[in-house]
Structure 1
Amino acid sequence: MKGIKHIIFDLGGVIINLDYQATYKAFEALGVKEFTSLYNQFSLNTLFDDLETGKVGPEVFLNEMQQHTAPGTTHQQIIDAWNAMLLDFPLRRLQILQQLRQHYGLYLLSNTNAIHLERFNRILQESRGIPSLAAFFDRAYYSHEIGLRKPTPESFEYVLEENGLNPAETLFIDDTLPNIEGAKAVGLQTIHLEPPKTMADIFR
């Protein structure tokens, strides 16, 4: 941490626990025969990317997903299935953020979407009595709000430039290797948080 003045955190798999299989299973229960194949198909036609960069809103996503679920499936059922992957905020990780904020500038940079944003803030409120993740950071950046997603250089540069951060003095922590490599490309210091390692293994 020598020379580090700022830390940019990823969200999923770093601060909040995720279970992608829970969403796959929830969609299969709604009649989607092979969610992984559907996800790959939507990745090719950019639906998920467009949702995560704010090019399309939740309504478009929900209507499209409805075409692939059993007849009569409601938007709320699709929302619940999509949110099934979002688990919990371990208390120790939130405590670490509070401690770090006394010594570093803290920022969040997450590839996410409006449906997940509403849900993970509700999980935080219901489990910890904190209404928003923004409480832990100087600024929180969500891909669907800024129109940029990791690992593009522009997503990292957006955070650096808006806050006047020197990448050599800024640490980026993520559990996904392409995002780490994208951050390195713009000069950020990085930690690849590979499972089963957690924040508690880095900050004791």
Structure 2
Amino acid sequence: MIKSIVFDLGNVLLDFDPESYLADFSYDEEKKMELKKAVFASPEWLQLDRGSLDFKEAKEKMIKRRPQLALEIENILAGWEEMLKLKEESLFILEDLAKKDYKLYVLSNFHQKAFDYVSKKYDFFKHFERLLISSQVGMIKPEKEIYNYLLTEFQLNPEETLFIDDTLANIEAARREGIKVIHFQTAERLKEELNFYLEK
């Protein structure tokens, strides 16, 4: 029987879509792809998730690697958090679960600066018992250690815990620790899969 439900944030409760964000800039397609790699697919982006770099250090390293894109990197990093928009249909599901007897948690790879932004902007965090944010603990999904930390620190029984994430590697890693999982694709599909698990 499921007692605890753990949500990822990016692309589950909040949009994270660098390509759509970059589409708002007037750069040509080739430059947009370069910028996506230079910023959102950079080693520094993962280090931000891990909390091993702060935002200023990460930006400096990105620019040092691609000095010819210095101005563009500055521009897209100036307001990138704005792409973290609420996924309304997912929020309805969260609010419905919050009215029931389940304990709700967050496990998410998230930069500290970005987390500060979303936690001030959105009030849905009030529904969660506790939050496990990667940059605050120095671990990231899909590393085994972060799932062990989740279970131990929050005193969760993996057989009674359901984890929702949009990334298959993260889902598989959680499953290996005995946690029940849902691979998030759409809110409608999530509703169906929740019914399957929660009606047991």
Q: TM-score, normalised by structure 1?
A: 0.78
**Counterpart Cα distance in 1 of 2:41 and 2:2:** 41
> Structure 2: which 5+ residue stretches go unaligned?
196-200
Alignment of structure 1 residues 1-204 onto 2, 5 Å: 3-25=1-23, 29=27, 34-39=34-39, 42-43=42-43, 47-67=44-64, 68=66, 70=69, 78-80=77-79, 82-90=80-88, 92-101=89-98, 102-124=100-122, 130=123, 133-195=124-186, 197=188, 199-203=190-194
Contact 1:14–1:193 at 8 Å: present in 2 too? yes
Q: Which runs of 4+ in 1 moved over 3 A?
A: 23-33, 65-77, 195-204
Shift of 1:176: 0.9
**Cα RMSD between the aligned structures?**
2.9
SS at match of 1:17: coil
Q: Which runs of 5+ in 1 are unaligned?
A: 125-129
Letter in 2 for 1:38: A
CA distance in structure 1 between the aligned counterparts of 2:37 and 2:72, rounded to whole angstroms:
20
Aligned length: 190
* 1:20-75 deviation per Cα after TM superposition (whole angstroms, max 9, x unaligned): 213444678496661244258733xxx22211111111110122334446555685
SS of corresponding position for 1:34: helix
Q: Percent identity, please.
A: 29
The answer to whether the Cα contact below 8 Å between 1:66 and 1:73 also exists between their aligned partners in 2 is no
Q: Structure 1, residues 84-113: CA drift from partner, whole Å, max 9, x if none? A: 5322231x4333323323311111001110
Distance 1:65 1:163, change over 3 A: same
More helix by share: 2
Q: Distance in 2 between matches of 1:56 and 1:151?
A: 19
Match of 2:198 in 1: none
TM-score between both structures, scaled by the size of structure 2: 0.79
